[in-house]
Amino acid sequence: MKILVPCITCMKDAAEIFRTTGTSPSAQVLSAEMEDTGVVYVSCNRGHKTAMLHRNRKHQILFESGCLAFLDNYTNEAVSSFSAALERAYEFFIRVAYRKLGVSSALLELSWKQVASLSERQFGAFVLIYPIITHESFKRPQKISELRNKVIHSGYIARSDEVFEYAGTVFSLIRKIVQALQDKCSIEMWAEINEAAEMQRGAVPPGMDWAWTARTEFDLRTDLTFDSWLTELKEERRS
């Protein structure tokens, strides 16, 4: 997946120029490939090689990818990304829950291997672990798996209105999952996020400029609906 990112060194240079002169050259924004870890390495035309580290976990990155596909009218690709985002949110919950329950990460990895390519079994694991943490059952609307399966397994061509509704439901479900983690295992959730972030930082070659970035659609401090988030994203793409 390619995304638009600025060169970190050029950004720093521009900030310094602005500090000393009050004017600033426009920042170079480049299209660059995101690695599976959420790191984007950028080579600008001034010869800098820098790294932008996305602190967001996979469910956030994939959700945003779905939004971008939707805004470009690729409805089937959007459904695929939205459903992958929800599946990774289940995994995120399970990983944080294991921390909360004091189960070793080695045992989780060993167990996860057996369901790593089986999304419905992952959901099965999630739906049984969720009540252990929250003392509530998790209800997934039937239409979520119906549209996903029609698109992925039957080649159904999804209409924009049904994808918009689908995305809104996925958005609410992921925020519900994040809210449950925030309420019940905030320390473990941040430990999971920070551990992944440290791995990203550790992978950046020594001496290379880097910076963190993060999106806000699942930041519970902001009062967002899917519609308002999509409008924000649309505005950002225009600017």
Q: Give the Cα separation of 129 and 94 in Å (integer).
A: 7
Decide whether 26 or 137 has the Cβ nearer to Zn ion. Answer: 26
**According to the binding rule CB under 5 A, does residue 44 interact with Zn ion?**
yes
Decide whether 49 or 184 has the Cβ nearer to Zn ion. Answer: 49
Answer whether 218's CB lies under 8 Å from 182's CB.
Answer: no
Report the residue from 2, 15, 25, 46 that binds Zn ion according to the rule CB under 5 A: 46
The nearest distance, CB 28 to Zn ion, in angstroms, is: 6
Q: Which amino acid is located at 15 in the chain?
A: A
Q: At 54, give phi and psi (nearest 5°).
A: -85, 110
**According to the binding rule CB under 5 A, does residue 16 interact with Zn ion?**
no
Decide whether 25 or 131 has the Cβ nearer to Zn ion. Answer: 25
Decide whether 45 or 117 has the Cβ nearer to Zn ion. Answer: 45
Decide whether 6 or 66 has the Cβ nearer to Zn ion. Answer: 6
Binding residues for Zn ion restricted to 77-136, rule: CB under 5 A? none
Q: At 3, give phi and psi (nearest 5°).
A: -135, 165
Size of the site for Zn ion (CB under 5 A): 6
Which of these segments, 44-52, 112-120, 150-158, 223-231, binds Zn ion (CB under 5 A)? 44-52
**According to the binding rule CB under 5 A, does residue 11 interact with Zn ion?**
no
Among residues 189, 185, 236, the alpha carbon closest in space to that of 213 is found at 236
Count Cα atoms within 13 angstroms, Cβ side, for 20: 6
Q: Give the Cα separation of 224 and 96 in Å (integer).
A: 24
The nearest distance, CB 46 to Zn ion, in angstroms, is: 4
Given phi > 0 = left and psi -120 to 50 = alpha, else beta, which region is 122? Answer: alpha
Give Cα 202 distance to the centre of its chain: 20
Which of these segments, 43-51, 71-79, 92-100, 164-172, binds Zn ion (CB under 5 A)? 43-51
Residues engaged in binding Zn ion (CB under 5 A): 7, 9-10, 44, 46, 48
